[in-house]
């Protein structure tokens, strides 16, 4: 019976097995292989051992891209968690017209990043953009946004918040799952609204916060489209993010596919190490039980 089930089960999941081997496992293996070669996409890759990995240490632009990506991710992830939670709390209000607010806050997250990038390029234009026009009308000195190395990354962080509605819905589902009697008990103990948030709401949302942090780090390390469309890595290489530099090595600078593969291997390993570390530390601050 069980043997028969094994065959049947494997039969049903066989498309996944084929896809996993062909489009994931083999490409990862092949990336590792290519990372030990000099390769331009034509002919036979030339074996050069660890040279690509050694090269990273002396490559200033590589470290710039690492710094930019770490900077962006460590800014975008915490801001993203707070924004998503604020949106979820707002969407959780008892008002008859709440579906309208919810639709407005969620809709931007289904829009394509390439189009949103173009919109923010015009929105945050130093002279013609509406944001700076508002700031000027309030007598403020507006920043140059994507033209200023200090503000370009902040602009990219802002773009990420525009798409926060999707994760906010996950938080909202979490909020709705919190049993009402916990709030009633806290109120009987004399806890005010702020106290109730920190002692009931926040602890019960920690599994979602963990999910958001891991997802956010993974997406943060992959940031690409915004630099490709808005800044082309500038100004002064302030938005040359890791994947943008990887892409340039692979497809723009000739003959660097081996080096790009080595960068890909490093990204893969680092993503899993960071996700693993977050997951391990999460045991200290994530509450899974409802009691």
Partner 1 sequence: MATTTPEIKEEQYVRPRRAAKDKYIRIGSQKVVPRIILVLMCAGFVLPFYWMVTLGLKSNEELSIYPPTLYPNNPIWSNIKDATEAFPFWRFAWNTTVITVLTIVGSVISNPIIAYGFSRIEWPGRDKVFMVVLATVFVPFPVLIVALFDIFAQLNWINTYWPLVVPLFFGQAFWIFLMRQFLMQIPKDLSDAARIDGANEFQIFWQIIMPQTLPAIGAIAIFAGVSAWNDFLGPLIYLQDSSMYTLSIGLTFFQQQDSYDVQYNLLMAASALIVLPLIVMFLLFQKSFIEGISVGSIK
Query: Taking the CB of residue 143, how many other CB atoms lie within 10 A of it?
Result: 18
What lies within 8 Å, CB to CB, of 141 at 6+ separation is: 135
Q: Choose, by CB under 8 A, the member of 84, 116, 152, 210 that binds partner 1.
A: 116
Helices (H), the chain: 2-20, 26-34, 51-58, 60-91, 98-106, 113-123, 130-137, 152-162, 165-176, 180-188, 193-196, 202-221, 225-226, 242-247, 257-285
Distance CA(98)–CA(90), nearest Å, equals 9
Q: Which is nearer to partner 1, 41 or 254 (CB)?
A: 41
Q: In whole angstroms, how close is the CB of 29 to partner 1 at the nearest point?
A: 8
Q: Which is nearer to partner 1, 200 or 208 (CB)?
A: 208
- Stretch of residues binding partner 1 (CB under 8 A), selected from 54-62, 107-115, 148-156, 179-187: 107-115
**Partners of 100 in the beta sheet?**
none
Pairing of strands 37-38, 46-47: antiparallel
Site for partner 1 in 43-82 (CB under 8 A): none
Q: Choose, by CB under 8 A, the member of 46, 82, 114, 253 that binds partner 1.
A: 114
Q: Choose, by CB under 8 A, the member of 43, 60, 94, 141 that binds partner 1.
A: 94
Distance CA(105)–CA(91), nearest Å, equals 9
Q: In whole angstroms, how close is the CB of 143 to partner 1 at the nearest point?
A: 16
**Which secondary structure element, helix H or strand E, spans residue 37, and what is its range?**
strand 37-38
Q: Choose, by CB under 8 A, the member of 130, 236, 273, 277 that binds partner 1.
A: 130
Q: In whole angstroms, how close is the CB of 134 to partner 1 at the nearest point?
A: 9
Q: Is 118 in the site for partner 1 (CB under 8 A)?
A: yes
Residue 194, SS3?
helix
Q: Which is nearer to partner 1, 26 or 63 (CB)?
A: 26
Q: Choose, by CB under 8 A, the member of 50, 82, 103, 202 that binds partner 1.
A: 103
The count of chain residues that interact with partner 1, using the rule CB under 8 A, is 90
Site for partner 1 in 216-255 (CB under 8 A): 218, 221-222, 224-225, 228-229, 243, 246-247, 250-251
Site for partner 1 in 175-204 (CB under 8 A): 177
Site for partner 1 in 9-28 (CB under 8 A): 9-13, 15-16, 18-20, 22-24, 26-28
φ and ψ of 112, to 5 deg: -70, 140
Structure-block tokens of residue 133: 């026009």
């Amino acid at each position: 019976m069980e043997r028969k089930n094994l065959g049947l089960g494997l039969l049903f999941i066989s498309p996944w097995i084929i896809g996993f081997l062909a489009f994931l496992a083999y490409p990862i293996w092949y990336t590792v292989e290519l990372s030990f070669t000099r390769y331009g996409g034509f002919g036979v890759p030339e074996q050069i051992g660890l040279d690509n990995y050694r090269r990273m240490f002396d490559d200033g632009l590589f470290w710039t891209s690492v710094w930019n990506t770490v900077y962006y991710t460590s800014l975008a992830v915490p801001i993203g968690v707070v924004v998503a939670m604020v949106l979820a709390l707002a969407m959780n209000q008892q008002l008859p017209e709440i579906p309208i607010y919810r639709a407005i806050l969620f809709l931007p997250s289904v829009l394509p990043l390439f189009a949103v990038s173009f919109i923010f390029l015009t929105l945050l234009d130093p002279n013609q953009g509406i944001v700076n026009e508002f700031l000027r009308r309030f007598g403020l000195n507006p920043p140059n946004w994507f033209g200023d190395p200090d503000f370009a990354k902040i602009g990219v962080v802002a773009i990420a918040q525009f798409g926060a509605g999707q994760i906010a819905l996950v938080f909202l589902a979490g909020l709705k799952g919190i049993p009402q009697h916990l709030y009633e008990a806290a109120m009987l103990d004399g806890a005010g609204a702020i106290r109730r948030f920190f002692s009931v709401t926040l602890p019960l949302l920690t599994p979602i916060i963990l999910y958001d942090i891991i997802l956010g780090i993974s997406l943060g390390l992959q940031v690409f489209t915004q630099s490709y469309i808005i800044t082309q890595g500038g100004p002064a290489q302030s938005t040359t993010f890791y994947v943008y530099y990887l892409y340039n090595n692979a497809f723009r600078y000739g003959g660097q596919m081996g080096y790009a593969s080595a960068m890909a291997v490093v990204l893969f390993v680092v993503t899993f190490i960071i996700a693993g570390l977050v997951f391990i530390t999460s045991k200290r601050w994530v509450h899974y039980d409802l009691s």
